[in-house]
Structure 1
Amino acid sequence: MRSRQMQVDFAPSEQSTVGIEWELAIVDLASGELTPAAPTVLQACGGGEDAPIRKEYLQDMVEIVSGVHRTVAAAVEDVAHHLREVQRVAAPLGLGVVGAGTHPFSPASAQPRFEGPRYDVVAERTGYWGRRMAICGTHVHVGIDHKDKALPVTTGLARFYPYLLAITCSSPFWEGEDTGYASQRTMLFQQLPTNGLPYPMSRWTEFEAYAEELLECGMISVPGEIRWDVRPSPRFGTVENRTGDAVPTLAELACVAALTQCFAEHVSRTYSRDQTYESLPPWLVRENKWRAARYGLDAHVITPNRLRREVPLREGLAQWLERLTPVARDLGCEDELRFAAELSAHGASYERQRAAGGPQEALRLLLDETGRRTPFRR
């Protein structure tokens, strides 16, 4: 007899609170190469498993994690404070940190990982692709006040994938080569099991059934190992946007956090009003994801409107920024949201890196920009 379906408890949180996870690469300033200095940096910073400064899969990365905040500005200031601590420790060691989806030229397979049962399982399971995961992302958590909203907001955020990705694209170079993509990280990250786009689900029981089947098949050991690009995070009572590359500047970090918060609140309000939300066919979401990864802000987004099937991403973004402005005003992130228009006009990180020259010049730019309030204008 089949046992009762697995129960995945969702701990509701205050609606539209925000938290940020910012992954950063560590580089040797003399050579510019990635360097496995995370153990030294973490020890000097007092970092640890549940500390604001944490280790990641590879020893050339650290992750800075904010607390839970009501405003984007407070969350960004939280991570900025901890970034300053990392930089204070790193500088005397001849180290720098970089906020980008990929390092422009260091070979990925040369980077050592942390040891441990959880990481050993990941390494064995992912094989070749796991050895290519020298990538860094920006993750934004938005609070959800009832589990019935979690999957509608997850699906709703996935609909806006091209906008959430395009403003963060920062990985045009990979192992010394211009890939032609705005976000090489996106193409790499989706190779891992349980990663990629969320499956379209609307009821929490569907997610529980999915998690149970993955558990029975040995694909996961806990629901947190479901690593969709946008996913519910039951432990924290949030929906987590994992679409973005790591970004170098605080303004870009605030911008993707604000856009995520506003889109999530938009979907939540719609669902609370009439128990509906807008979604797109999975094929369309997948194609828009690829277009944003390939072309960044220059992509053309497919829409469900048969009278106009494609819209320039910059145009669509401008329309959504106008539509979301009242939501941003309510949430206190109007200035942070508006910065997306600045990026659209003056260049996201992938554009600035290419304009700087080749991979070496891109790295110098990233080192100079990481932790700055705003990017250098092209």
Structure 2
Amino acid sequence: MQSSFTIGIEEEYLLVDRDSLALAAAPDALMQACREELQEQVSPEFLQCQIEVGTKVCETVAEARDDLSRLRSCISRHAKQHNLAPIAVSCHPFSDWKNQDFTEKDRYDALQREMEAVARRMLICGMHVHVGVEEKRLRMDLMPQLSYFLPHLLALSTSSPYWKGDDTGLASYRLSVFDNLPRTGLPPRFASWGEYERTTGTLIDLGLIEDTTKIWWDLRPSDRYPTLEARICDVQPRLADSIALAGLTQALVRMLMRLRDRNLTWREYDRFLISENRWRAQRYGVTEGLIDFGERRIRPFAELMDELIALLAEDAEALGTLDEIVRLRDLATEGTSAQRQRAVHDAAPDGTGGAAVVRHLIEEFHADL
């Protein structure tokens, strides 16, 4: 193996008022207290109601779980002192982006000027998983193969059915908002690292972007770390689901490297076809299945998940993550956060569904800390 398969997780949270359950801006004192405890592992986000954390570089998923639990606990503890609570969800069930304040930061000011209304409505949160792949050429080799599985990761992670109080009918409305930005979606196919640098370098040389952090594909080589960074997932209300999805991402990378070491590759399909599965995951989550391009039929997601667990068993055993990956079978059969939110909403008295969903999300955030 020519990769370390180290892992890192970045998550974005929303802050809500414990009484109104609406979004609330993070006070300076809250951010300062979190920074004093977490140092560079916490930062403000584009909107003042958002906060971002990132684990250290972890050797194992178990190590990442401990670090992410520590990060979530810290944010919760300090937020409570201001009558706030964090929720790990990709869209707030009822708050409106027009009522939110922006974080004053050069990078975010530039984003507003460049993107205008497209940036101003970015009231969304995501989860990014980094997997260590030290060789640049290997990152380019693995990226189009790993892209096949991005719809699977999205389907399992869907947590954003609501937008400004309305049920959008989608399992991940976050992606609809995010895709309005340029340089998003599935990554292009590059023949080499050199081609990738030449292509992205064109925008850098023209002054259109400062660096490749302004390229927001669903999967990209990280600008800061020797990793492949999967960015497709909605953020997870429950810590255990975050860890399971991170473990799945890590095992997929290892599986592709294992094939490569045997002079094999995962078949690459056209972005047009993978985009169709991406849309199905965005629209339905795990409820309607994805296209099996080899068999040329739509297969139930639970069936695909069982197949994926079998495919990755060797890698999960080697990484010590089989239990985490098997946990995802429950998401495939019982439903993701999007379905749980809808169930809570539908069970609430008329006019109280949004508040009930937020209370549910607060409970899930704290359930396994």
State whether TM-score is above 0.5: yes
Whole-Å separation in 1 of the counterparts to 2:300 and 2:113: 42
2:151 pairs with 1:162: yes
2:227 pairs with 1:232: no
Count of residues in correspondence between the two structures: 361
**C-alpha displacement of 1:215:** 1.5
**C-alpha displacement of 1:52:** 1.1
**C-alpha displacement of 1:246:** 0.8
Whole-Å separation in 1 of the counterparts to 2:158 and 2:208: 30
2:192 pairs with 1:203: yes
2:358 pairs with 1:367: no
Q: Is the 8 A contact 2:15 2:84 kept in 1?
A: yes
Moved more, 39-48 or 323-332: 39-48
**C-alpha displacement of 1:125:** 1.5
Structure 2 counterpart of 1:92: 81
Moved more, 210-219 or 316-325: 210-219
- Which AA in structure 1 matches 2:250? Q
Structure 2 counterpart of 1:82: 71
Query: What is the CA deviation profile of residues 141-166 of structure 1, one whole-angstrom value per residue up to 9, with x for unaligned ones?
Result: 00003111102222222210121011
Q: Which TM-score applies when normalising by structure 1? A: 0.91
Equivalent position to 2:312, from 324, 328, 333: 324
Query: What is the CA deviation profile of residues 320-344 of structure 1, one whole-angstrom value per residue up to 9, with x for unaligned ones?
Result: 1111111101011111111101112
Name the SS of the counterpart of 2:108 in structure 1.
Answer: helix
Q: Which TM-score applies when normalising by structure 2? A: 0.93
Equivalent position to 1:61, from 50, 73, 98: 50
Whole-Å separation in 1 of the counterparts to 2:191 and 2:19: 51
**C-alpha displacement of 1:48:** 9.8
Query: What is the CA deviation profile of residues 60-96 of structure 1, one whole-angstrom value per residue up to 9, with x for unaligned ones?
Result: 1111110111211110210111211111111121100
Moved more, 295-304 or 270-279: 270-279
Name the SS of the counterpart of 2:217 in structure 1.
Answer: coil
Whole-Å separation in 1 of the counterparts to 2:95 and 2:191: 42
Structure 1 counterpart of 2:330: 342
Whole-Å separation in 2 of the counterparts to 1:147 and 1:69: 20
Query: What is the CA deviation profile of residues 238-265 of structure 1, one whole-angstrom value per residue up to 9, with x for unaligned ones?
Result: 0001101111111101111011101111
Q: Is the 8 A contact 2:94 2:354 kept in 1?
A: yes
Q: Is the 8 A contact 1:157 1:263 kept in 2?
A: yes
Structure 2 counterpart of 1:28: 17
**C-alpha displacement of 1:202:** 3.4
Q: Is the 8 A contact 2:161 2:338 kept in 1?
A: yes
Equivalent position to 1:70, from 56, 59, 64: 59
Whole-Å separation in 1 of the counterparts to 2:24 and 2:57: 31
Whole-Å separation in 1 of the counterparts to 2:303 and 2:153: 14
- The alignment yields a C-alpha RMSD, in angstroms, of 1.8
Q: Is the 8 A contact 1:258 1:333 kept in 2?
A: yes
Equivalent position to 1:333, from 296, 299, 321: 321
The share of aligned pairs that are identical, in percent, is 35
Moved over 3 A (4+): 47-50
Structure 2 counterpart of 1:107: 96
Whole-Å separation in 2 of the counterparts to 1:89 and 1:288: 40
**C-alpha displacement of 1:216:** 3.2
Structure 2 counterpart of 1:4: none
Whole-Å separation in 2 of the counterparts to 1:325 and 1:273: 17
Whole-Å separation in 2 of the counterparts to 1:154 and 1:186: 20
Give unmatched runs, 5+ long, in structure 1: 1-12
Name the SS of the counterpart of 2:12 in structure 1.
Answer: strand
Structure 2 counterpart of 1:192: 181
